[in-house]
C-alpha cells in the first residue's frame, strides 16, 4: 500500500520530462512562432495529428524542444530544418520536393490526367 502511494506521488514528477510542452513562452511573438510551427509538424506516434493537438509523450517532447529552441533565439525555419533532419521528411505536412517525395507531388497531377482521359473517352462513346 505504501509503495502504491509512493508511486502515485512520483508519477506526476516523472511525466514532467518536457518542461515547456504546455507552458507558453513569456514573449508573445515567440510563442506565436512556436505555435505556428507546431501546427505544421506531424506527431510521429499519432501520424495524422499535429504535435500541437496530440497528447502523445513524443509530441509533448517535440513541443518542448520547439519552445526551448525558439526561446534560445533560433528561427522557426531553423527549428523546422533541425526537426526534419532528426525525424525525417515525414514529420512535415509539406514535404520538400526530392528523390523520395516526388511521387507524393506527382500523384495528384497524374490522377487528374487519368480522370480527364477517362471522362473524355466516356463522352466520346456516348456521341
- List the one residue out of 105, 58, 67 whose CA is nearest residue 86: 58
Side-chain half-sphere exposure of 18, counting CA atoms within 13 A: 17
pLDDT of residue 21: 60
**What mean pLDDT, rounded, does the chain reach?**
81
How do the domains of the chain map onto residue ranges?
2-95, 97-127
If residue 109 lies in a helix (H) or strand (E), which one and from where to where?
A: helix 102-126
Average pLDDT over residues 33-46: 90
Length of the chain: 127
pLDDT of residue 5: 53
Enter the C-alpha cell of residue 53.
493537438
pLDDT tens per residue across span 65-108: 999 999 999 999 999 999 989 888 888 887 777 777 788 778 99
Give CA separation, 113 vs 89, 100, 106, 109, 121, in Å.
Answer: 27, 22, 11, 6, 12
What DSSP string describes 10-22?
Answer: HHHHHTTT-TTSS
Instruction: Give the residue with greater pLDDT, 7 vs 29.
Output: 29
Give the architecture (CATH level 2) of 2-95: Orthogonal Bundle (1.10)
Does 4 score more than 60 pLDDT?
no
pLDDT of residue 19: 59
Q: Based on C-alpha coordinates, what's the Rg of the chain?
A: 22
pLDDT > 90: percent of the chain: 35
This prediction's pTM: 0.63
Amino acid at each position: 500500500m505504501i509503495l502504491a502511494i509512493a508511486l502515485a506521488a512520483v508519477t506526476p514528477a516523472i511525466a514532467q520530462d518536457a518542461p515547456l510542452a504546455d507552458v507558453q513562452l513569456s514573449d508573445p511573438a515567440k510563442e506565436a512562432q512556436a505555435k505556428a510551427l507546431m501546427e505544421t509538424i506531424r506527431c510521429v506516434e499519432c501520424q495524422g495529428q499535429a504535435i500541437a493537438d496530440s497528447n502523445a509523450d513524443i509530441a509533448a517532447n517535440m513541443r518542448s524542444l520547439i519552445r526551448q529552441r525558439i526561446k534560445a533565439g533560433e528561427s522557426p525555419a531553423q527549428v523546422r530544418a533541425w526537426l526534419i533532419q532528426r525525424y525525417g521528411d515525414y514529420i512535415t505536412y509539406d514535404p520538400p520536393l526530392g528523390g523520395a517525395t516526388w511521387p507524393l507531388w506527382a500523384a495528384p497531377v497524374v490522377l487528374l490526367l487519368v480522370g480527364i482521359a477517362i471522362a473524355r473517352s466516356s463522352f466520346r462513346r456516348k456521341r
